[in-house]
């Protein structure tokens, strides 16, 4: 893998991360918000995979294994997030995060 290829891959994950952040900042729908977070997170996981393969074969399996662990984290995070979505829906009858502002004074 060449440096040029790495730059391309890093550009890809930067783009994915940008999309994710954009989604987080603009979406009001809780489920879309969760998906945006997932996109941003996968951008970060992709980075681990790139750097594990570059320069080729020298850094062992640590990058890949961290990526696998992070996928697990992402799954648990989504589970918690979806639980909050359900609770919010039951409480408010909506999943619009702008309505979840009861803690404000």
Give the residue among 57, 65, 49 at the shortest CA–CA distance from 16: 49
Span near other proteins by CB under 8 A; candidates 22-30, 47-55, 56-64, 67-75: 22-30
Distance of closest approach, residue 104 Cβ to other proteins, in angstroms: 3
CA pair distance 28, 22, nearest whole angstrom:
12
Examine residue 19 and tell whether it contacts other proteins (CB under 8 A).
no
Contact 44, 13 (CB under 8 A): yes
- Interacting residue with other proteins among 26, 59, 62, 89 (CB under 8 A): 26
Q: Which backbone phi and psi does 93 adopt, to 5 degrees?
A: 75, 15
Which residues would be at the binding site for other proteins (CB under 8 A)? 21, 24-28, 33, 97-98, 100-105
């Amino acid at each position: 893998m060449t440096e040029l290829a790495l730059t391309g891959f890093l550009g890809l994950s930067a783009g994915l991360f940008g999309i994710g952040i954009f989604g987080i900042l603009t979406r009001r729908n809780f489920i879309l918000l969760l998906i945006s977070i997932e996109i941003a997170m996968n951008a970060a996981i992709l980075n681990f995979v790139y750097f594990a393969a570059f320069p080729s074969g020298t850094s062992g399996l640590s990058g890949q294994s961290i990526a696998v662990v992070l996928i697990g984290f992402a799954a648990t995070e989504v589970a918690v997030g979806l639980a909050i979505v359900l609770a919010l829906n039951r409480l408010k009858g909506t999943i619009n995060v702008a309505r979840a502002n009861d803690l404000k004074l």
